[in-house]
Structure 1
């Protein structure tokens, strides 16, 4: 297929050119790496006021995103398949994500807390599927309201830097029978040491279990908590994201690995490997392994 061959060629050329040239042309001081305080404006010296757009989750485009078992017949737990026949989907598609946050209230609650609004959107685009007129297979929208509080104490050799709570909504904006959405209250704790950052996030679903639930038992598949472990050095970033249902019976979850390497300034090559449930909302109870290759645009 021409599109796939072209995408592979562009990525291969970028990678090989970078490997040959980054030692000659890339300056280490051009690589921006944010501490937790800089990313979330925790210390007084890092405060930047309100209503300034900042990066949040990874911001990337993957021209090649392959699944070993793409979900051709979406089906919620305990319900009939959404379609009478499997959809003729391609196993290779384009995946991209945009994400940003902005502080809307600074130094509230005894002058220590900050209130942020975050937004993340993930797209799975069947751009190589000419037979189906190249549709977007799945779009996930995730706005959230985050209350954040700085910390400063030692925990198991790490410096605890912040804790807080968020109200999180996630939806694919689709009508029945492929509508998917849920609301969560998410607690978070962030730790830092040298080149490592760790985010721990347990959550509780709000309003699930009713008869008109779009995605029953989603927390049993996507999970009830996640641990995000990030390592950065010399512009290279490695990230391991673990999610789990925290259930001894029928335990489910997922693991995602991201590796980002410097190309030029804040432009990075991006490799992503995922295995488990909940790669997106339409696949919340669908097990698959995916591999994506593309570029990231900003540090996170």
Structure 2
């Protein structure tokens, strides 16, 4: 039986390699983890100036990501399917993400506020699909301009650390009928306590022309807010990302769970589980559950 038809084999193989590596390599150096102040340079001692590249969201590669219901007939709400026949996609593919940010302006608001620019790119690669010449199924590009202001007060047992908002654009760079894009103003509030960090992010979609909307009702599926809860200890990291449409009539959303465990230095094994709508833009109104296994390089 060929490997590309056995997703469970790929998952087991990847897990075995990671587990073996964890046993072979002694952890000589601790995982580099950062507080909110260090990640966003909130205190004077943490500031490094402008135009220096910093990590934003995790860098990771999941060589094996399996879907229980891969989207072979993408279509927007209220529109006909993009293709006449289902695309012969494999349920197992590779996913990877790169993400970075840099500070453009420092201490512009009452001597404390900063302006950052961030960029995240996520790829879904049908690398095991020889019949279709191993194409990239979906690429999502997400640039954003972030205004951030440090805070310092107690809130529900946590220490509030920052708040602000971002001008966010997300698109897949494709032509009709599978073009997907939207613009948002995303507000954020972050706090931490001991090994926990919590990000709360509600957003408002910037109105688009209804006649050329690539993804109508995307807020009803992907959501209107997210909560990101992160727990770190001894090089291990647990992350739960929840999104919800905040609608009582037709409630949708998703959850994504990430577990990262130390292998050597800053190299870590990475398990990711997703369930719900909108894992990516082409699947914004498509429900599925996915499991991915791979490695991470940079802490959140």
Q: Same fold (TM over 0.5)?
A: yes
Whole-angstrom CA distance in 2 between matches of 1:122 and 1:299: 16
- Change beyond 3 A, Cα 1:234–1:14: same
Uncovered stretches (5+) of structure 2, i.e. residues with no partner: none
The aligned counterpart of 1:12 is 16
Aligned mates of 1:298, 1:77 — CA distance in 2? 36
Partner SS, residue 293 of structure 1? strand
2:88 aligns with 88
Distance 2:208 2:198 in 1: 29
> Residues 194, 99 of structure 1: CA spacing in aligned structure 2 closer, same or farther, 3 A cutoff?
same
Q: How many pairs align? A: 296
The equivalences for 1:256-295 within 5 A come to 256-295=256-295
How far, CA to CA, are the matches of 1:248 and 1:116 in structure 2? 35
CA contact (8 A) 2:14 2:293 kept: no
RMSD: 1.3
Q: Which residue of 2 aligns with 1:146?
A: 146
Q: 2:120 corresponds to which residue? A: 120
**TM-superposed deviation, 1:58:** 1.1
User: CA shift at 1:50, angstroms?
Assistant: 0.5
SS at match of 2:298: coil
- What TM-score, normalized to structure 2? 0.96
Which residue is 1:53 aligned to? 53
Q: Give the superposition deviation at 1:13.
A: 2.2
Matches within 5 A, 1:171-182: 171-182=171-182
Moved more, 86-95 or 6-15: 6-15
Whether the aligned pair in 1 keeps the contact of 2:14 and 2:64 (CA below 8 Å) is no
**What corresponds to 2:217 in structure 1?**
217
Equivalent-residue separation in structure 2 for 1:15 and 1:82 (angstroms): 41
**2:15 aligned with 1:34, yes or no?**
no
Aligned residues of 1:120 and 1:142 also touching (Cα < 8 A): yes
- Aligned residue for 2:184? 184
User: Residue 255 of structure 1 corresponds to which residue in structure 2?
Assistant: 255
- Contact 1:222-1:244 at 8 Å conserved across structures: yes
Give the CA deviation at 1:272. Answer: 0.2
Q: Give the Å deviation of 1:8.
A: 4.8
For the residue of structure 2 that corresponds to 1:30, the secondary structure is coil
* Aligned mates of 1:173, 1:12 — CA distance in 2: 36
8 Å CA contact 2:270, 2:294 repeated in 1: yes
Equivalent position of 2:297 in the other structure: 297
The change in CA–CA distance for 1:242 and 1:6 in structure 2 (over 3 A counts) is closer
SS in 1 for 2:45: helix
**Structure 2 Cα separation of the partners of residues 67 and 2 of structure 1:** 16
Task: Work out whether residues 242 and 256 of structure 1, in 8 Å CA contact, stay in contact via their aligned partners in 2.
Answer: yes
Q: Distance in 2 between matches of 1:59 and 1:141?
A: 14
Superposition deviation, residue 42 in structure 1: 0.2
**Kindly tell me: are residues 111 and 67 of structure 1, through their superposed partners in 2, closer, same or farther at Cα, counting changes over 3 Å?**
same
Matched, 1:133 2:137: no
TM-score of the two chains, using structure 1 as the length reference: 0.96
Cα 1:6–1:244, aligned 2, differ >3 Å: closer, same or farther?
closer
Unaligned runs of 5+ in 1: none
Give CA deviations for 1:232-285 in whole Å, capped at 9, x if unaligned.
Answer: 000000000000000001100000000000011111100000000000000000
